[in-house]
Structure 1
């Protein structure tokens, strides 16, 4: 009998949505039970992550194998997406409670611990998410504590990455330069993969989080005021006047198909499709019905990533 390789439990990273969702480098060895990693632009090698945010969407889907739950939460830097699978029945009661709260109109803070997963499109695009291992509703104080610790961890990675740019891609050189041992493999992989890394942009997200903590802003209200979703490679439709000029009082199905057909293959968000239909003269309910019809009945559109759509291939 060939002995199985033994893998230690991986570190749990505290990471903001923009750093995680902006990653396109993955690592998955062929051995059974080998951990899978998403490697960020500044070298976070994430197998497991702790993330927090205000709930933006919860959806239950019922299939032949059981129910699954898709979540979207927002932190000060953007949106991160998570999934509870049918084979995780121990998490379903908690997910149902959260779904009931969300459907009642309540917005609240959630903490998740999850494992990295991703979907790779035919053109090589990588869309990241987390498979939930633990989750709970949290209070504002715990969220602010997470923001503080995650900001500290992110600044450490930024400073270390910038310091590592002064030396070569050799582990020995990095150790000699006192680059922390835990970050060396991820930084080497990141520098080999990502062509240009703007650490100031990542730092800006950290400053947003710190500002929220210092000002004592209500995170739920702050999230409601935020309009932009930081998801590289995904188009957002912001100009409702332009949409009206292009589409007039078109039927929602025609609006959706028109947008996705002319979008160059990029994914378009659910909220953006609904907004476009409303701008073209439809009701929000009619827009939602049209999306479901095109996805589930005629199958003219697909949802490669939760909440984002494209024309079916």
Structure 2
């Protein structure tokens, strides 16, 4: 495995970009002060084409929205198989939903719907980022995946300029300066700000790495959170 992964790393360092499926074992541990750290041991990998990745993404998005619909349908129901099925929860999701309700409690599903649609937008190569999820219809029925994407394309997407007015590094530094309240600004927020300013996601990711590892203008005091280098 090592020679193959070294070849891919060499391609990546030369500027090549590709989609890769990675299989491995994950582990996590929690420190005494409440910090959670994760690690991943890769065991197998392969490069996949855009069509296959898109197919997997759409399947995953549809399954996620289906589980969110089931969760919302269960909120006014007793946590018994018969009651959940009567409330409209698919039979194959009942057992898992009982465990999920006991573990997670109540939460706002809209944030997850937005995440699904943002992932679809970025992965499908759209020059847009979905800012808000489509509002549920008055009847309470939740939109299907196709309906959600259509509604987002019609009214929930902010089109971006093809020619950015600001340098990507400037966008990152300004975003950290404006939004850091002491604990840093998370990676996704920085990438989102760059995309909204008209830059490609890959450009934003490379710029974050360069500002941290080469320029030394930003630091990463904890995983995936960034701050300006103290003067």
2:108 equivalent in structure 1: 198
Q: Deviations over 1:261-283 (max 9, x none)?
A: x945x7976986974x7xxxxxx
Unaligned runs of 5+ in 2: 128-159, 188-204
The whole-number CA distance in structure 2 between the counterparts of 1:125 and 1:140 is 36
Shift of 1:161: 1.3
SS of the residue corresponding to residue 8 of structure 2 reads helix
Alignment of 1:133-282 (within 5 A): 133-177=43-87, 179-211=89-121, 238-239=174-175, 263=182, 275=211
SS of the residue corresponding to residue 112 of structure 1 reads strand
The whole-number CA distance in structure 2 between the counterparts of 1:124 and 1:267 is 19
Aligned residues: 168
**Contact map agreement 1:112 1:135 (CA 8 A) in 2:** yes
Shift of 1:151: 1.4
Shift of 1:308: 5.9
The whole-number CA distance in structure 1 between the counterparts of 2:32 and 2:173 is 23
1:285 to 214, 223, 227: 214
SS of the residue corresponding to residue 107 of structure 1 reads coil
Q: Deviations over 1:113-172 (max 9, x none)?
A: 344433324343545565444321112111211221111111111111112223122345
1:108 equivalent in structure 2: 18
Pick closer, same or farther for the CA change 1:156–1:240 going to 2, 3 Å: closer
Shift of 1:212: 5.2
**Contact map agreement 1:237 1:272 (CA 8 A) in 2:** no
- Point out the structure with the larger helix share: 2
Give the RMSD, CA atoms, in angstroms: 4.5
**Contact map agreement 1:148 1:213 (CA 8 A) in 2:** no
- Point out the structure with the larger strand share: 1
